[in-house]
Amino acid sequence: MRLILVGPPGSGKGTQAKLLAAREHLTHISTGDILREGIRTDTPLGRLARPFMQSGQLVPDDLVNELVADRFRRDDRPDRFVLDGYPRTLAQANSFDQVLRQQFLSLTAVVLFAIDDEEIIRRLSGRWTCPLCSTTYNVINRPPQRPDICDKDGTPLMQREDDKECTVRERLRAYHRNTQGLIPYYRDQGLVREVTAAGDVEAIYANLVQVLKQAGARC
């Protein structure tokens, strides 16, 4: 199975990618994770990517395209994979197609996580984090026992800059702008499958497996 997951921030696609990887024995490739690791270990790639990531912008296409192409050129290149967070633009999709052609690989499906913007805003802006131990709570489905206080260490909870409503709205606008060309491109190839991304993790996973079966993938 060779999958691309596309979805807005907060749609749960990262969680689903990890579950698919574990249960279906797929290689999980997350460009966000690779870039964050590059920043943590201060690699040349990390140094180039840092200013873009810190300001919430996309890293330039050339940089991520090279990173992914390199992953597929290695001797241990993945044969079965789930890509999470790449491609994010039409230019990235074009570049990835070239990589796939060079490796004689074809995609099984491009899974689009369908969820209302307002639901994303409700989810993310309800998220509060402990600045001491990083535990995350959600006023809707995982509230702390005492309002605004971490259950583990009693520290007052904070809202991450990323999770504030106006930032979430901006991230969603960027997502729609960037994926505008991406989805029609894969739709024309007959690859797009939509998954309803509402409900809990296992409910979404069940939808995902169902959709993949319809796409002819063996789960």
Residues that bind ligand AMP (CB under 6 A): 9, 31-32, 35, 52-53, 57-59, 64, 85-86, 88, 92
Closest approach, Cβ 45 to ligand AMP, in A, equals 11
What is 156-199 written as a DSSP string? BPB--GGGSHHHHHHHHHHHHHHHTTHHHHHHHTT-EEEEE--S
For this structure, is 88 an active site residue? yes
Sheet holding 192-196, edge to edge: 27-30, 81-84, 2-6, 109-114, 192-196
> Which residue matches tokens 């689903």?
16
For this structure, is 177 an active site residue? no
Tell me which of 13, 71, 123, 193 is the catalytic residue: 13
Tell me which of 23, 146, 152, 160 is the catalytic residue: 160
> Which residue matches tokens 């797929």?
26
Nearer to ligand AMP, 159 or 167 (CB): 167
Nearer to ligand AMP, 121 or 149 (CB): 121
- Residue of this chain nearest to ligand AMP (CB atom): 32
For residue 152, how many other CB atoms are within 10 A of its CB? Answer: 11
Tell me which of 71, 88, 123, 193 is the catalytic residue: 88
Q: Which residues are catalytic, by number?
A: 13, 88, 127, 160, 171
